[in-house]
Amino acid sequence: MEKSALQIARAAYQPKLPAGLRGNVSIKEGEPTQSVGDQEEIKKLFPNTYGMPLVEFVPTNEKKEYAPMNIGIILSGGQAPGGHNVICGLYDELKKQNPANKLYGFLMGPGGLVDHKYIELTDAIIDDYRNTGGFDMIGSGRTKLEEEDQFESGLKIIRELGIKAVVIIGGDDSNTNACVLAEYYAAHNCGVQVIGCPKTIDGDLKNDQIETSFGFDTACKTYAEVIGNIQRDANSARKYWHFIKLMGRSASHIALECALQCQPNVCIISEEVEAKNQTLDDIVTYIAEIVAKRAANGNNFGTVLIPEGLIEFIPAMKKLIAELNDLLATPEAATVAAAEQRAWILGKLSKENAAIYDSLPEGVAKQLTMERDPHGNVQVSLIETEKLLSEMVGNKLAAWKKEGKFVGKFSAQHHFFGYEGRCAAPSNYDADYCYALGTSAAQLVANGKTGYMAIVKNTTAPAEQWVAGGVPITMMMNMERRNGKMKPVIKKALVRLDGAPFKKFAEHRAEWAEKTCFVYPGPIQYWGPSEVCDQCTATLKLEQGK
Ligand code: FBP
């Protein structure tokens, strides 16, 4: 593989490990745990993996002998910077424990386990991917592991390769499925352990035990760099409003973090829109008022950050999407020709939802009916909210112009940042965090754990003070309605309006809206002073009161 000079130099970076994972490691177990909600139901569904204690890895002088073992690893769902370092950390720890240990990578996501597609990971492969972004070492996929025949098919190859444990690197849904798999193998005495790892750029897999999901840090820094560049361009030419949609699926963590880093004129937070029961028109009016106010001061430019999941948080749109989901799941829906779909939908929707659907521009209406992902989610990355909002803001300003309420110019540019950041080379934070997660996963396996997720805490401190361990996945679960059925799931973390990151944003947004307070964060730095290279996100610092 041809490499850039930066890639070659970066490959030599040795991720920093917490003191508890550096030398000989012993395991400290806490008290039995409970799920965060619906304890009785979760306990009944996971009789073999419920109630296990939290564990922590601590240094010891005792040298342990490790029997040889083989492990399988799977990357699941959307790419996130640092995934390769989880694999490298796991691999290095495995080889350290016993050089005879083997690591198998299942290809293209959970489907690789079911379809028996795998490679053995070797020194040469691992060395090629150290500290690199992307999931291309083994590929990723969104196959849901939830059916018994999938578990049984996986078991066949697990037995054939003599695999003791499978490590699944994924988001909330994939880790929920990892726990279901762990329970299944435990209930059937298969002797196979399953361990999860918290991944997603979206930042919504976090709770009292998981400080942050890996990849959030690098993805946000990558977007913040480009938003900063756009802001400088906007401030130089002073003629465009930039409408920037940011990935994050449901939660607005990425948009909020980028707002804290860049101080744009507007940032919409979906969770606030829902809490205040705002309409699409409320949001459009809010943005248009800021545009008009800045225009009155001669500033016909600015930036607007929009979380990609916004549309689903506008209460009226949420109702429309729910009805569309049911409608599109009917057998009749599959028989309707594309050209007739809009009319067919309008004829079937309730009066209230039909009126909203009818008011949407053709493009967005079409995007709302596109195929759902395997977890039943609307593919929000395909909905062009940035264009919808700028078009509606433009229409409102045109109407205000006629009334003399708007005196400036409004010209919009559109951007969507998502895929640009998901495979960025991990920041030092993500490189270290992921390597420590992989090392923890290997320790969890070596200590016979199953149904656990690897965790690393205290990550706002220097890396040697980080605390590594594991959390029982059932501890993070509650029951939620999914596709019409109540299911055990890991609770998704949305932006908390009473949390310190949102409060800081809310305190400053009026000033950022009217004045030009742009910050230009610049590119991720890998070498240099620690205050430049080793910082975590503003979100994490504020959440921890730092
Ligand atoms: P995960 O939740 O699997 O980590 O994926 C996150 C994400 O990047 C979202 O931000 C985005 O909405 C979605 O994936 C896009 O999915 P796809 O890669 O299938 O287009």
Where residue 75 sits, what CATH number does that domain have? 3.40.50.450
In short, whether 254's Cβ falls inside 6 Å of ligand 1 is: no
User: Of all atoms in ligand 1, which is nearest to the CA of residue 248?
Assistant: 10
- How far is ligand 1, taken at its centre, from the CA of residue 278, in Å? 26
Q: What is the mean pLDDT of residues 41-65?
A: 95
- How far is ligand 1, taken at its centre, from the CA of residue 159, in Å? 32
- How far is ligand 1, taken at its centre, from the CA of residue 453, in Å? 20
- Are 203 and 213 in contact by the 8 Å Cβ rule? The answer is yes
Q: Is 202 a catalytic residue?
A: yes
Which is nearest to 205 in space by CA: 174, 179, 244?
Answer: 174
User: Of all atoms in ligand 1, which is nearest to the CA of residue 379?
Assistant: 12
Q: Establish if 344 belongs to a structural domain.
A: yes
- How far is ligand 1, taken at its centre, from the CA of residue 94, in Å? 30
**Hey, whose CA ends up nearest to atom 1 of ligand 1?**
78
**38 to each of 45, 473, 478, 486, how far by Cα in Å?**
11, 14, 6, 11
Residues 6+ away with beta carbon under 8 Å from 515: none
pLDDT of the residue at 258 = 98
Same domain, 80 and 145: yes
In short, whether 144's Cβ falls inside 6 Å of ligand 1 is: no
How far apart, in whole angstroms, are the C-alpha atoms of residue 182 and residue 194? 5
Which is nearest to 366 in space by CA: 357, 375, 374?
Answer: 357
DSSP for residue 451? S
In short, whether 83's Cβ falls inside 6 Å of ligand 1 is: no
Q: Establish if 11 belongs to a structural domain.
A: no
Q: Establish if 5 belongs to a structural domain.
A: no
Same domain, 134 and 50: yes
User: Of all atoms in ligand 1, which is nearest to the CA of residue 381?
Assistant: 12
Q: List the structure tokens of 457.
A: 């805490």
**Hey, whose CA ends up nearest to atom 11 of ligand 1?**
249
Report the run of H or E that residue 198 belongs to, with start and end.
Answer: strand 193-198
How far apart, in whole angstroms, are the C-alpha atoms of residue 200 and residue 88? 18
Which of 160-169, 219-228, 475-484 has the lowest average pLDDT?
475-484
CATH number at residue 285: 3.40.50.460
CATH number at residue 336: 1.10.10.480
DSSP for residue 201? T
Q: Establish if 6 belongs to a structural domain.
A: no
- How far is ligand 1, taken at its centre, from the CA of residue 78, in Å? 4
Q: What is the pLDDT of residues 129-176, one digit of tens each?
A: 999 999 999 999 999 888 999 999 999 999 999 999 999 999 999 999
Same domain, 158 and 287: no
Average model confidence (pLDDT) across the chain: 95
Q: What is the mean pLDDT of residues 187-205?
A: 97
How far apart, in whole angstroms, are the C-alpha atoms of residue 39 and residue 242? 47
Q: Establish if 12 belongs to a structural domain.
A: no
In short, whether 377's Cβ falls inside 6 Å of ligand 1 is: no
Same domain, 458 and 528: no
Same domain, 41 and 153: yes
Residues 6+ away with beta carbon under 8 Å from 13: 130, 131, 428, 431, 526
Same domain, 240 and 291: yes
DSSP for residue 428? H
In short, whether 215's Cβ falls inside 6 Å of ligand 1 is: no
**307 to each of 132, 247, 412, 447, how far by Cα in Å?**
27, 6, 18, 41
Q: Has residue 275 got a pLDDT over 70?
A: yes
How far apart, in whole angstroms, are the C-alpha atoms of residue 172 and residue 482? 13
The model's confidence at residue 344, banded by pLDDT at 50, 70 and 90, is very high
In short, whether 200's Cβ falls inside 6 Å of ligand 1 is: yes
In short, whether 164's Cβ falls inside 6 Å of ligand 1 is: no
In short, whether 171's Cβ falls inside 6 Å of ligand 1 is: yes
Q: Given 92, 172, 173, 202, which residue is catalytic?
A: 202
pLDDT of the residue at 367 = 86
- How far is ligand 1, taken at its centre, from the CA of residue 206, in Å? 16
Report the run of H or E that residue 302 belongs to, with start and end.
Answer: strand 302-307
Same domain, 454 and 350: no
In short, whether 201's Cβ falls inside 6 Å of ligand 1 is: yes
Same domain, 223 and 189: no
Q: Establish if 116 belongs to a structural domain.
A: yes
- How far is ligand 1, taken at its centre, from the CA of residue 29, in Å? 34
Same domain, 151 and 289: no
Q: Among the three residues 353, 382, 411, which one is the final residue of a domain in this structure?
A: 382
Best probe residue, ligand 1, of 257, 312, 381, 494 (max atoms within 8 Å of C-beta): 381
The model's confidence at residue 421, banded by pLDDT at 50, 70 and 90, is very high
How far apart, in whole angstroms, are the C-alpha atoms of residue 230 and residue 510? 21
Q: Establish if 26 belongs to a structural domain.
A: yes
Please tell me the pTM assigned to this model.
0.94
- How far is ligand 1, taken at its centre, from the CA of residue 360, in Å? 25
pLDDT of the residue at 488 = 94
Q: Among the three residues 357, 382, 407, which one is the final residue of a domain in this structure?
A: 382
Same domain, 58 and 103: yes
Q: What is the pLDDT of residues 368-405, one digit of tens each?
A: 888 777 666 777 778 899 999 999 999 999 999 999 99
Same domain, 199 and 232: no
Same domain, 167 and 285: no
Q: Indicate the burial class of 447 (C-beta count within 10 angstroms; 0-12, 13-18, 19 or more).
A: middle
Q: Establish if 258 belongs to a structural domain.
A: yes
User: Of all atoms in ligand 1, which is nearest to the CA of residue 200?
Assistant: 4
Q: Among the three residues 461, 482, 503, which one is the final residue of a domain in this structure?
A: 482
How far apart, in whole angstroms, are the C-alpha atoms of residue 336 and residue 510? 48
In short, whether 469's Cβ falls inside 6 Å of ligand 1 is: no
**Hey, whose CA ends up nearest to atom 20 of ligand 1?**
381
Between CA 202 and CA 212, with CA 208 as vertex, the angle to 5 degrees is 30
- How far is ligand 1, taken at its centre, from the CA of residue 378, in Å? 11
Q: What are the backbone angles phi and psi of residue 272, rounded to the nearest 5°?
A: -75, -40
**Hey, whose CA ends up nearest to atom 12 of ligand 1?**
249
Best probe residue, ligand 1, of 201, 250, 367, 375 (max atoms within 8 Å of C-beta): 201
User: Of all atoms in ligand 1, which is nearest to the CA of residue 77?
Assistant: 3
pLDDT of the residue at 376 = 66
pLDDT of the residue at 374 = 67
**Hey, whose CA ends up nearest to atom 19 of ligand 1?**
78
The model's confidence at residue 363, banded by pLDDT at 50, 70 and 90, is confident
3-state secondary structure of 413: strand
Percent of the chain beyond pLDDT 70? 99
In short, whether 426's Cβ falls inside 6 Å of ligand 1 is: no
In short, whether 264's Cβ falls inside 6 Å of ligand 1 is: no
Return the CA Rg of the chain: 24
For the CA atoms of 105, 111, 115, 120, the dihedral, rounded to the nearest 10 degrees, stands at: 0
Q: What is the pLDDT of residues 484-537, one digit of tens each?
A: 689 999 989 999 999 999 999 999 999 999 999 999 999 999 999 999 999 999
Q: What is the pLDDT of residues 316-342, one digit of tens each?
A: 888 998 898 888 888 998 899 988 999
* Residue 457 belongs to domain spanning: 18-215+426-482
Structurally, how many domains does the chain consist of? 3
In short, whether 251's Cβ falls inside 6 Å of ligand 1 is: no
In short, whether 202's Cβ falls inside 6 Å of ligand 1 is: yes
pLDDT of the residue at 322 = 87
